[in-house]
Chain A
Amino acid sequence: MYATNYHRASSVEEAVKLATDNGDAKFVSGGQTLIATMKQRLASPSDLIDLRHVAALKGIAVNGRSVRIGAAVTHAEVAASAELRAVCPALANLAGGIGDPHVRHLGTIGGSIANNDPAADYPSAMLALDATIVTDRREIAASDFFQGLFTTALEEGEMITAIRFEAPEKAGYAKFPNPASRYAMTGVFVARRGGAVRVAVTGAGADGVFRHEGLELALSGNWAPDAVGGVSIDPTNLMSDLHASSEYRANLVKVMAKRAVASTL
């Protein structure tokens, strides 16, 4: 790891100022991605601004069906939240399936979303839940936030403070984990509000997380695993790598969509 300067922020304002004042600074939240990347010398921030001690980034609040999760809430906390589980068990289960217990004890929702790894779990949930990403300066709809591989709408020094969404009537997530890393080789998040269905796919798209119109249409007509059977998934824009070909991933999209819907019945 290259040398770096560590700063511990105690408020959002202080953290943003530290990031702005120090040219090549990066926020570090759980560090489960960033520290690993620094160890491999694939990242070399001049300064690290630690967000783990910023109280305003903590906590899960559920008000009726409105959910707010602070950016520095860990995957383990999301998985263990009884309040969240009562309105949106799919998101709690998703968090409980990220990586391993040690990664879940440190890794955070804000870090995962900011990173926008094409195989990360949370981006699919944010997109399917039509979540709002709250930053220190504005609110961004999930559909505008995720902009391709490891790319988001965040500006230099902009910090995610929380995510918000209205819990849908039904939501489900299923992933086929890479057996070594546990990241999604394909993961599908489905959500239904009245007749409106959103289906978001992670781990499969060559440009990162995406919504699938064909699946949305089929499921809005019939919310059942069988409805997925007739949908064709075009492998053209899907990833192909040593883990799986794009054709294999296209099939996984179907299978995971079926399982995700089945988990809500």
Chain B
Amino acid sequence: MAKVTLTVNGRTVSGDCEDRTLLVHFIREKLGLTGTHVGCDTNQCGACVVHMDGKSVKSCSILAVQASGSSITTIEGLAQNGEMHPVQAAFKDNHGLQCGFCTPGMVMTAVDLINRHGNSLTEETVRAGLEGNICRCTGYHNIVKAVLSAAAEMGTARQAAE
């Protein structure tokens, strides 16, 4: 058994689990944060993407003990004071989801992409950046639109704040 301590969405949490427990299972089953999804068993679909120390990772590709000591943000950590994060709002406004299963991973990936590229994001960069996230409903088109619109919105908000 391992003792795992993480900062999840700003709160310090710890719990015991087997050494072989995947981070995604720790998040879902120990912490009850079921917004992070398991969509495949092969580290390919991206439904489980969370941020670890500010970087997007597939939480099914790392053990909870490997992640111990790090800071994790899940989809539940994005909204502030009951207000959707701009990326969440953009997915809603642009109809960037249908069944919604891949959406948490898509949104976490989009936030990471925008953090790294700011509003210099192009459609090509967005499409390449979504390489590790599979959606079987939308055909990606509206997801790409949502990411670009959120990037523009967040860029404008950043400029206004400066």
Q: Are A1 and B20 in contact (CB under 8 A)?
A: yes
B151 at the interface (CB under 8 A from A): no
User: Which B residues lie within 8 Å of A1 (CB)?
Assistant: 20, 22
Closest to A39 in B: B41
Closest to B105 in A: A102
Q: Are B58 and A102 in contact (CB under 8 A)?
A: yes
Q: Are A35 and B63 in contact (CB under 8 A)?
A: yes
Residues in A77-107 with C-beta less than 8 Å from chain B: 99-103, 105-106
A150 at the interface (CB under 8 A from B): no
Q: How far is the CB of B81 from chain A (nearest CB, A)?
A: 29
Interface segment, one of B42-50, B94-102, B153-161: B42-50
Complexed CA–CA distance, A48 and B112 (Å): 29
**Given A101-B129, A101-B131, A106–B19 Cβ distance below 8 Å?**
no
Residues in B72-123 with C-beta less than 8 Å from chain A: 109, 112-113
> Contact residue range for chain A?
20 to 34
Complexed CA–CA distance, A31 and B56 (Å): 15
User: Which B residues lie within 8 Å of A207 (CB)?
Assistant: none
Q: Are A6 and B66 in contact (CB under 8 A)?
A: yes
Q: By the criterion of a CB under 8 Å from any partner CB, how many residues of chain B are at the interface?
A: 29
Q: How far is the CB of A18 from chain B (nearest CB, A)?
A: 14
Q: Are A31 and B131 in contact (CB under 8 A)?
A: no
Name the residue among B19, B57, B66, B133 with the largest chain A CB count within 10 angstroms.
Answer: B66
Q: How far is the CB of A77 from chain B (nearest CB, A)?
A: 10
Residues in A98-119 with C-beta less than 8 Å from chain B: 99-103, 105-106
Q: Are B61 and A6 in contact (CB under 8 A)?
A: no
Indicate which residue in B60, B63, B132 contacts A103 across the interface (CB closer than 8 Å): B132
Q: Give per-residue flags for B33-56: 1 if the beta carbon is below 8 A from chain A beta carbons, else 0.
A: 000000001111010010010011
Count of A-B contacts with CB under 8 A? 78
**Given A4-B20, A105-B55, A106-B57, A31–B62 Cβ distance below 8 Å?**
yes
Q: Are B46 and A50 in contact (CB under 8 A)?
A: no
User: Which A residues lie within 8 Å of B20 (CB)?
Assistant: 1-4, 38
Name the residue among B56, B61, B65, B131 with the largest chain A CB count within 10 angstroms.
Answer: B61
B13 at the interface (CB under 8 A from A): no
User: Which A residues lie within 8 Å of B55 (CB)?
Assistant: 76, 105
Q: Are B19 and A5 in contact (CB under 8 A)?
A: yes
A28 at the interface (CB under 8 A from B): yes
**Given A4-B20, A5-B19, A101–B62 Cβ distance below 8 Å?**
no
B18 at the interface (CB under 8 A from A): yes
A58 at the interface (CB under 8 A from B): no
A153 at the interface (CB under 8 A from B): no
Residues in A1-32 with C-beta less than 8 Å from chain B: 1-6, 8, 28, 31-32
- Using A3-B19, A6-B19 as known contacts, list a sample of 14 further A-B pairs with CB atoms less than 8 Å apart, ordered by residue number in A: A3-B18, A6-B65, A32-B43, A35-B62, A36-B61, A48-B63, A50-B66, A52-B66, A99-B132, A100-B46, A101-B132, A102-B56, A102-B58, A102-B61
7 closest A-B pairs by CB: A100-B132, A100-B131, A6-B19, A105-B55, A6-B65, A1-B20, A36-B43
In the assembled complex, 9 residue pairs joining A and B whose CB atoms fall closer than 8 Å, in A order, are A1-B22, A2-B20, A6-B2, A31-B61, A39-B41, A39-B42, A39-B60, A48-B63, A182-B131
